[in-house]
Amino acid sequence: MEIRHNYDRATFPEFSLSRRTWRVIYPVLLFIGTMFAVAIPFTIAAFARVYADDGVSTIGDLTEAVMLQISGQYMLIQILSQALTLAIMLPMWLKTRTYLPKFKRRNLVPATAIAIFAVPAVGVVSSLLWSLTGVKDPMSEAFDSALETMQEQPFLLQILSSVVLAPLIEELCLRGVTLNRSTYWLPKWAAVVLTAALFAAAHMNLTQGIPAMFSGAVMAVIYLRYRSIWVCIAAHLGNNLIAVIQMNYLVDSKGNLLPGANAVEIAITVLGIIALIAIPFLKGAEPLPSAEPLHSSAAVGERVESPGEL
């Protein structure tokens, strides 16, 4: 039995188009806004300290000095904003899943293995194709600066921020909340495209955004097929772990790949292609017989809670 939509339509008959759109987009805006909200007090404090220095006489010198101070606190700002975002996103996801139908999940271990190889491979290939277009990223200087700052941070803090917290937060936000909400209003293919685009926009630069868009689409498809947020988190974690290892050990000081790094990318790509081919042959989650009747029998305006599955 196929369930076309995640939510009971009778539960939310009053939602206008604008409110539907807002419910889908605002978790992503909240995700982005939290980072800026945490950075603001640090920026104000840095301006105050630098402005008090008599050696700073021009706006350019002032801005450069502030950015230098902020870069020294980069990891603190990053982890604080991630912790705050997680505290917001986790209850939002737990509330969202109470409206999801129940599924009999299966093949989660092989699905996780497939996702761990498929997602990085899609990122590698899309990043390569993007570089071949020759289109300049208007945010390239800011991205390069952020990358250099990240490389200067202790490796264990990079792991905590990029490999543990970032995948957890982004999957709860994009696949857990936004994708599930959008599949209520949209066909599955449209929900996949929308959440992939939002995932790309959340990175705020084309260098990361283009690979993120295609990787996000793959993770959305994997989530809808296997109905486990943990499969997506594991895939995202593996992707970011590869990126952190590459950033620290497989590139030189100018960002060029070291000998042997290309072989690693080729191996990831080959394994990822095999993994993508295997997806149609690995059965996904099966909706339980009681899932749809629980929703379709609800009276208009009546709240029906059906505990979902992670």
Provide block-wise average pLDDT over 10 residues at a time, the chain (310 residues): 42 64 88 88 82 65 73 84 94 88 89 93 89 81 76 89 94 94 88 94 88 94 94 94 86 67 84 91 84 38 36
- List the Cα angle 10/15/20 in 5-degree steps: 115
pLDDT at 254: 61
Q: Kindly report the pTM of this predicted structure.
A: 0.83
pLDDT at 11: 44
Question: Does 306 map to a domain?
Answer: no
Question: Does 250 map to a domain?
Answer: yes
Question: Does 229 map to a domain?
Answer: yes
Question: Does 1 map to a domain?
Answer: no
Q: Say how many domains are in the chain.
A: 1
Closest CA to 85 of 219, 176, 218, 181: 176
Question: Does 175 map to a domain?
Answer: yes
Question: Does 141 map to a domain?
Answer: yes
Integer Cα distance of 186 and 192 in angstroms: 9
Closest CA to 92 of 39, 12, 37, 31: 31
pLDDT at 73: 80
Question: Does 2 map to a domain?
Answer: no
The H or E element that residue 288 is part of is none
Question: Does 303 map to a domain?
Answer: no
pLDDT at 290: 60
Q: Which domain holds residue 108?
A: 9-296
Cα separations in angstroms, 152 against 74, 147, 199, 212, 283: 10, 9, 26, 24, 44
